Amino acid sequence: MVKIGILGVGTVGASVAKILEENGDIIEARAGKKIVVKSGVVKNLSKDRGVSIVLSDNPLDVVNDPEIDIVVELMGGVEEPYALVKKALENGKSVVTANKALLAYHRYELQEIAGDIPLMYEASTAGGIPVIGALRNGLSANHIESIQGIMNGTCNYMLTKMINEGAQYDDILKESQELGYAEADPTFDVGGFDASHKLLILASIAYGIDAKPEDILIEGIENITQTDVAFAKEFGYEIKLLGIAKKVGEGVELRVHATMIPQESMIAKVDGVMNAVTIIGDRVGETMYYGPGAGGDATASAVIADIVDIVRGNQGPMLGYKKGLESGLKLLSPNDIITQYYLRLQVDDKSGVLAVITSTLGEFGISIEAMLQKPTKNEEIAKLLFTTHHCKESKMQDAMAALSKLDVVHGEIAMMRIEK
């Protein structure tokens, strides 16, 4: 018998306990041993968790219990879980975590501490989708060329509503909060930070890149308007918040931002609260992993899959490799990203303006691929929407700064990146 202790018996923790009990027979058949939850930890003992396990409000009751074989960390946060996971590993206990923030900041320290002790984290990225296992094991014969992921269901739900139903950003954010998809303070989701933590985990497995969220480009969906949606439709694009990891020469781009992608691409068809990750390997080509990225049972499914792997004894190294991976690769600066761009700006509606805009862009080596002009309520002002050919991020930022200083340009310039 294998005994489990759960740090954090919230929605996911309660689902883990229930599934281990209700599906115990099939789980035991697959694992080869009976798996039971011995105890759990909560902050508020007076709240009913709907589970019949011993509960404590002291995490050390689990971490230091000699009878517990595997500690499941579902607390959230960074430093307190790090101290507890470290202690559990030092006590010789295997660990399963769903904590993406913990891994975004401390995955390499934990790998060092864990050594040969299993530390598994499938549920940390894309909920119930087994993308960690696919990247660590299923694609181990491949150099990974790129990863693109819809890894935040809240943003995908909001963008789907904006595109399919014409909803305004503020209205759909309020609805998402009422439905429980978005928090009262939605910044972590809509600002791209949640997706960035997941991207960093995948990038470590794919490339061995040790980066923190502060090291990469992170933008959200807050500035997307129906004008942008209409342009995207006109030119055959969908808008998604993507986490992107891409090998470019001896460097790796890591970035999270709203992205225009071709409507015919596989990932463009992923709508609502669903998540999806596409991975391109040099041998297998493109593969896609799709499913629910959050929710108690879906995330618990991934947690229990890790527990079963540990019980079977086939977990392997934490990040999927025992020595340096992709030696020589370095994280590229956000300024060195090369892609295509979409710009939206308001300009004087008079002759000669377009020539001024294109001339200014030309000073930075940027050329226009497609353009659309839309009227505004002010007859003297027009919206100018266009896409560019490939250029470097630093050049685009300099060009936008120069455009904003032109007398014919009014208000802020909106920009979105394009991935084909």
**Which residue in the block uniquely carries the two structure tokens 């342009």?**
231
Calculate the alpha carbon distances from 14 to 39, 44, 49, 53, 251 in Å: 11, 14, 7, 10, 42
Alpha helices by DSSP H, 191-329: 193-207, 226-234, 296-312
- What residues pair up with 35 in beta bridges, in sequence order? 2
3-state SS assignment for residue 45: coil
Q: Does residue 190 contact residue 196 with C-beta atoms inside 8 Å?
A: no
Cα gap 386→117, rounded to integer Å: 53
Q: What is the CA radius of gyration of the chain?
A: 24
| Distance from chain centroid for Cα 106 | 17
Cα gap 343→415, rounded to integer Å: 5
* Token pair belonging to 20: 């281990």
252-286 b/e (C-beta count within 10 Å ≥ 16 → b)? bbbbbbbbbbeeebebbebbebbbbbbbbbeeeee
Q: Which of 64, 8, 65, 72 is nearest to 35 (CA)?
A: 72
Calculate the alpha carbon distances from 271 to 2, 127, 156, 229 in Å: 39, 16, 6, 15
Told to judge if 395 belongs to the known catalytic residues of this protein, a careful annotator would answer: no
48-76 b/e (C-beta count within 10 Å ≥ 16 → b)? ebebebebbeebebbbebeebbbbbbbbe
Q: Does residue 103 contact residue 201 with C-beta atoms inside 8 Å?
A: yes
Which is the catalytic residue, given 93, 100, 198, 247? 198
* Token pair belonging to 208: 């061995």
Q: At what angle are helices 79-90 and 100-114 packed, to 10 degrees?
A: 30
Return the active site residues: 198
